[in-house]
Structure 1
Amino acid sequence: MTVDTNSLDMHRHETDAGVLVPGIGAPSTVACLRSLRPRGIPTVVASETAETPAASSTYCDDVVRVPDPRADLQAYGDALLEVANRPDVRTIIPVREEDVYVLANRKDAFAEVVETNWPDFETLRRVQDRVELFAAADAAGVAVPETAVFDQWDDWERETIVKPRYTVAAPAYLGSNTDVESIGSTEYQIPGAPPDPQALVEERGHMPLVQERIDDSREFAFFALYDEGEPVATFQHCQRRGWKYCGGPSAYRETVYDQDLEDAGRAILDELEWHGLAMVEFLRDEADEKYKLMEINPRFWSSLPFSVRAGADFPYYYWQQALGEPVEDDASYEVGIGGHLLRGELSHVHSVLTEEYPMVERPSLTSTLANVATSLVREPRFDYAVADDPAPFFQDGLNLLRAFRDSRSDPEPGVEGETDHERSRSNELPQLEPLARDEDEAEPPSPTSQGITQTSPQLDD
């Protein structure tokens, strides 16, 4: 009797082979489950918290607890590798910076047990180290805002941003002996108020970057799946509203297509000879009408549910590529449609009601409510809220309520040196951030005594 091994392999792919997705607070994990499980692909969620919305999804087959990567990156990598050894796991989908760092840094070990559809570590480093990223952009002819390492910047009379050099606090970047768990936040600096360099380095564990501020809060993003330097699928959107009226993570975004954006996104990824997922973030500088590269997120983005709803089913493309199958991308998506993160819309309205940012004019509450309401009616697409899988939406709401309750019942004591304004902010509504800071874009700024602080893009759009 002759056994068709190819047929057996295909049968195993259809019935046994599954995917491991880290469970985070952003909607990207849930989007992966909703895309893959209906196709018969088993799903395993690995998370440091039981409250991840993905754990409550109809499309989640199993949940595994793992260490918090921001507390112990080595232990987290060990745990992922252990889960990857399961016979029902065929590949892993990275959804945050720590995920792709661990996977790339230990790619050889993971390659022994799963399909490794992500870049090698040297390529990843050129993205997670912004100095190397901007050098690659220069070589590719892609515009970037004027940027320098902090100790090389001397023009503090301009509106600037102080931001981390790296996108993840990891030994390969900060050194093996560092005890820094966070690379710090991004600070929008008011002209004439340079920060203390020694304090910055002590807090962050490295010398950060200074960058000119682009006066436009709209973020344009080019999304892609690459296969060994070649684009397989691409997508574009423009953020129309952030979590705050000054910007921040995406609350409402619309699909777009701009050849200049396509060219810029492809140019930098081609220069990197990229492999795997990428979200390439740009701001458009009206001064010279150029897209300026801000960063690349080398994993899934939190607005992924919107990409899928618009017709770009990246989780399935990723799965097909990982298994060496032809990617079923029809190279089209509907331009001009929109989608919302409802928690983000709530945060946006709250910012108009209660917050003030010196560098950005606050819109009227009336116009804000009208814009939000109109877009909700015209573009009823939501990252979490869907009829066939409602539980993640309610879990996300519970997480928000817990954050609000905790902020009210256990406020942090005032810190010596705080201004009255800073202390008063402890009684405001919390930032409505997802679990474990899982957004792509940085959170919007809040005033400080020296500048305007903005959480680093550790969240995972």
Structure 2
Amino acid sequence: MRQLRVVVTGIGGPTAQGVLRGLQERQNVYIIGADRRSVTTGNQFCDKVVKIPRYTKPDEYKKAIQDIIAEERIDAIFPCLHEEIDLFREFRDELNAAVALPVCEDFDALMDKEKSYEYLAKRGLDRYIPKYFGYNTAEELREIMSQFFPGEKYVVSKNISGYGAMGFAILTDRQNFLKALKEGKPKVVNIDDFCEIQDDNRKIAMEYMGGMEFSVDVFVYDGKVIVSVPRERTGVSSGIVLDGLVVENKELIQASTEIAECLITEGFINFQFITTDDGYKLTDVNARFCGSQVMSLGAGVNFPYLFLQYKILNEKVTVHPRWNTRMLRFREPLFIYEESHAGTNKA
């Protein structure tokens, strides 16, 4: 069996550690972790760890990645931080290694929620798009609220390029805000306060949908979906799934297949949906591996290795998820015994 050498970035975070868990299951994969810190909780999953510059120093970051690929004879690299995606978009073609990001004709349609919806609508997939309107200013938001959401108890606001729970707010009036505050719901915000702190980032105002949340992991090759794995997001905290169930939801498999084959021609992609009386509505597109895809690993679908099989090994395998697999997450400590510490007082 051919030995593969891969780089995984951002190994201290949940996304990378989900990828690492999948790669670690394979004896023929040598894993090099890359992070701005020399010690992280992801070190334990790697054969070797390399400290690299932060993505905020793009020239230094790119050179470090190129050096690792050349020196370590790397076959593939898995970018696991959302902020790294734009960097790899710029120089993926310069790298002598496969990059585990989707291949598509319009990458902006994966990174910008407003452009995602516009792209899908033009291709006849508007049935999966919730009611939404883009805005820049507090004045535009108030006009949208009065014209398109009159009398609505809640309206959702999101940054067009946000991920996880970043930039997400449920807007309401003062009375409902105080009730939510009492009930410990931090994402519910008084719209008047929200407008006072409105920044310059473009956002979308979207209908509030209180149904069940689903996440769907999809792998595409040569323009066709190889496998689609829907997951119930039963318990979520700060955008991280703590409790979930892999389900054989044929309607979601169909929806995710149509959307994935419309957006990309190759790679892993993740979608988030919410159920409504009018069917499933797409709420987010993740153009990289996501932290909760480790749930699919538990169901027998190793997406990181599947990427390597199709892209590097030319193994066109078929996979069959083990439906009704449930995942529960818990925190686990990692102990590191250091010889000395700068803050230690010595007699």
- Check whether TM > 0.5: yes
Contact in 2 for aligned 1:306/1:339 (Cα 8 Å)? yes
**Once the 2 structures are TM-superposed, how far is the Cα of residue 314 of structure 1 from its aligned partner?**
0.9
Report the Cα distance in structure 2 between the residues aligned to 1:147 and 1:74, rounded to whole angstroms: 37
Matched, 1:250 2:250: no
**Once the 2 structures are TM-superposed, how far is the Cα of residue 101 of structure 1 from its aligned partner?**
2.5
Cα distance change on mapping 1:86 and 1:125 into 2, 3 Å? farther
Report the Cα distance in structure 2 between the residues aligned to 1:53 and 1:124, rounded to whole angstroms: 31
Report the Cα distance in structure 2 between the residues aligned to 1:335 and 1:102, rounded to whole angstroms: 36
Which ranges in structure 2 are unaligned for 5 or more consecutive residues? 175-190, 337-347
Q: Which residue of 2 aligns with 1:340?
A: 328
**Once the 2 structures are TM-superposed, how far is the Cα of residue 121 of structure 1 from its aligned partner?**
7.3
Cα distance change on mapping 1:222 and 1:196 into 2, 3 Å? closer
> What is the 5 A alignment of 1:188-267?
188-191=170-173, 193-194=191-192, 199-202=197-200, 206-216=201-211, 218-243=212-237, 248-267=239-258
Which ranges in structure 1 are unaligned for 5 or more consecutive residues? 1-10, 169-182, 344-392, 399-461
Aligned residue for 2:202, secondary structure, equals: coil
Matched, 1:276 2:255: no
Q: Which residue of 2 aligns with 1:147?
A: 132
Contact in 2 for aligned 1:228/1:273 (Cα 8 Å)? no
Aligned residue for 2:71, secondary structure, equals: coil
Q: Which residue of 1 aligns with 2:20?
A: 33
Amino acid at match of 1:265: S
Cα distance change on mapping 1:123 and 1:275 into 2, 3 Å? farther
**Once the 2 structures are TM-superposed, how far is the Cα of residue 198 of structure 1 from its aligned partner?**
7.9
User: Cα deviation per residue 1:193-245 (whole Å; 9 max; x = unaligned)?
Assistant: 2456684234xxx22221121113x321221111232112221111111227x
Report the Cα distance in structure 1 between the residues aligned to 2:161 and 2:31, rounded to whole angstroms: 31
Q: Which residue of 1 aligns with 2:291?
A: 302
Q: What's the C-alpha RMSD, in Å, of the aligned pairs? A: 2.7
User: Cα deviation per residue 1:254-301 (whole Å; 9 max; x = unaligned)?
Assistant: 01011110111111111113321101110111x32x111011111111
Amino acid at match of 2:119: A
Name the TM-score, length of structure 2 as normaliser. 0.79
**Once the 2 structures are TM-superposed, how far is the Cα of residue 117 of structure 1 from its aligned partner?**
4.4
Cα distance change on mapping 1:32 and 1:254 into 2, 3 Å? same
> What is the 5 A alignment of 1:45-124?
45-57=33-45, 60-69=46-55, 71-110=56-95, 113-120=96-103, 123-124=106-107
Matched, 1:186 2:191: no
Structure 1: which 4+ aligned runs deviate by more than 4 Å? 194-199
Report the Cα distance in structure 1 between the residues aligned to 2:50 and 2:72, rounded to whole angstroms: 15
Report the Cα distance in structure 2 between the residues aligned to 1:303 and 1:318, rounded to whole angstroms: 17
Count of matched residue pairs? 306
Report the Cα distance in structure 2 between the residues aligned to 1:333 and 1:120, rounded to whole angstroms: 24
Contact in 2 for aligned 1:127/1:296 (Cα 8 Å)? yes
Q: Which residue of 2 aligns with 1:388?
A: none
**Once the 2 structures are TM-superposed, how far is the Cα of residue 132 of structure 1 from its aligned partner?**
0.9
Identity, in percent, stands at 18
Cα distance change on mapping 1:120 and 1:232 into 2, 3 Å? closer
Cα distance change on mapping 1:336 and 1:184 into 2, 3 Å? closer
